[in-house]
């Protein structure tokens, strides 16, 4: 009896997944998406801005540590707060490095994309 109920539940779950997954795939297949054209220059500017924002946050955290250097100022958990601020600085540094790497990658891709002719709908090339 229990196995019959479990089989029915499993069949219902599979049917629900198929029911919801097929329309999503059909919509995705029907979209006219141009995957070859990516605005790498815009991505370069975006990632550089993100990296600069992370660097600004690092400066803010360093200033906070410098101005409130006494652990007695933070009270009982002063050392924990300092460790947390240092952790945040480390995370911001990692994020800044990752964003700069992404910006460098997209800058390289933008240079490559600039070398290739872009084809218009009429079949002519744009320069």
Collapsed DSSP state (helix, strand, coil) of residue 78: helix
Q: What is the pLDDT along the chain (127 residues), one digit of tens a residue?
A: 567 777 777 787 777 766 776 665 555 555 544 545 678 889 999 999 999 999 999 999 888 888 765 655 556 676 777 888 889 999 999 999 999 999 999 999 888 887 765 554 555 555 5
126: left (phi over 0), alpha (psi -120 to 50) or beta: beta
What is this structure's pTM? 0.56
Q: Where are the domains of the chain?
A: 1-33, 40-115
Which of 58, 54, 36 lies closest to 46, judged by CA?
54
Tell me the two tokens of residue 94.
């990692």
Is the backbone of residue 38 left (phi > 0), alpha (psi -120 to 50) or beta? beta
């Amino acid at each position: 009896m229990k196995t019959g109920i479990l089989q029915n539940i499993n069949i219902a779950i599979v049917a629900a997944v198929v029911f919801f997954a097929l329309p999503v795939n059909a919509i995705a297949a029907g979209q006219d998406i141009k995957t070859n054209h990516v605005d790498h220059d815009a991505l370069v500017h975006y990632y550089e801005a993100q990296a600069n924002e992370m660097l600004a946050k690092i400066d803010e955290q360093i200033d906070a540590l410098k101005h409130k250097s006494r652990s007695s100022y933070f009270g009982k958990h002063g050392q924990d707060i300092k460790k947390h601020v240092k952790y945040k600085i480390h995370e911001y540094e990692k994020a800044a490095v990752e964003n700069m790497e992404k910006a460098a990658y997209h800058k390289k891709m933008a240079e490559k994309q600039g070398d290739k002719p872009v084809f218009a709908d009429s079949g002519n090339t744009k320069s």
